[in-house]
Chains A and B, each alone.
Chain A
Amino acid sequence: GEDVEQSLFLSVREGDSSVINCTYTDSSSTYLYWYKQEPGAGLQLLTYIFSNMDMKQDQRLTVLLNKKDKHLSLRIADTQTGDSAIYFCAEGDTGRRALTFGSGTRLQVQP
């Protein structure tokens, strides 16, 4: 079945760039998402990319997709303390019953 893997923890200094990585197993994945979960809150969609794209940029966020290696990354430029959260990668395809989520990467931003 589908599987999505992420590293559990990332620590960066304020002002540096953060790169959160995700690998998935299903080559038919059409929709790939990044969600952010702040303490005590639900998941909120940060950004998404379709499988026919290689890159998407949205202000401080850059998503890179390597379909050959089934690798997705989220780069946050000029990371701020407010970016401290858990980031989930998720993938899906038409006809599936649900998105498949990774276990989340906890980003800690040191002042």
Chain B
Amino acid sequence: EAQVTQNPRYLITVTGKKLTVTCSQNMNHEYMSWYRQDPGLGLRQIYYSMNVEVTDKGDVPEGYKVSRKEKRNFPLILESPSPNQTSLYFCASSLAPSYEQYFGPGTRLTVT
């Protein structure tokens, strides 16, 4: 089954404690992306990747890092989480940036 998986689905952590949210796709897509969803703000892109070892900033990259060492995986790293990073995070993949995006189920992060 074609899918994007994310882990964990729910995470509560404290300020400053490094965390990683994993994302994996099984569709051989070149393009992958991370979004955060906040009430009234819709989806905002954090980082994206056009291919292995090619990543770039989206609209709201501050406080986040990503890596793309393999085509299927695109982890999101928060080196020092802060409460304003409390949000719902989605990973997505597609053949190209403007083509249909396939979304993961989301990770709800709470930073206290």
Q: Is A bound to B? A: yes
Contact with B along A19-62 (1 / 0, CB 8 A): 00000000000110101000011111100100000000000000
Contact with A along B1-34 (1 / 0, CB 8 A): 0001000000000000000000000000000010
Interface residue? A93 (CB, 8 A): yes
- Count of chain B residues near A, Cβ 8 A: 23
- Count of chain A residues near B, Cβ 8 A: 25
Q: How far is the CA of A101 from the CA of B37 in the complex (A)?
A: 11
B48 touches A43 (CB 8 A): no
> Across the A-B interface, how many residue pairs have beta carbons closer than 8 Å?
55
Out of A43, A48, A98, which one reaches B90, CB within 8 Å?
A43
Closest residue of B by beta carbon distance from A33 = B100
Out of A42, A92, A104, which one reaches B103, CB within 8 Å?
A42
A99 touches B42 (CB 8 A): no
Q: What are 21 of the A-B contact pairs (CB < 8 Å)?
A: A30-B98, A31-B99, A41-B106, A42-B106, A43-B101, A44-B103, A48-B100, A88-B42, A88-B43, A90-B101, A92-B97, A96-B98, A97-B48, A97-B56, A97-B58, A98-B33, A98-B45, A98-B97, A99-B101, A103-B40, A103-B41
Contact surface of B with A, Cβ cutoff 8 Å:
4, 33, 40-43, 45, 48, 56, 58, 90, 92, 96-106
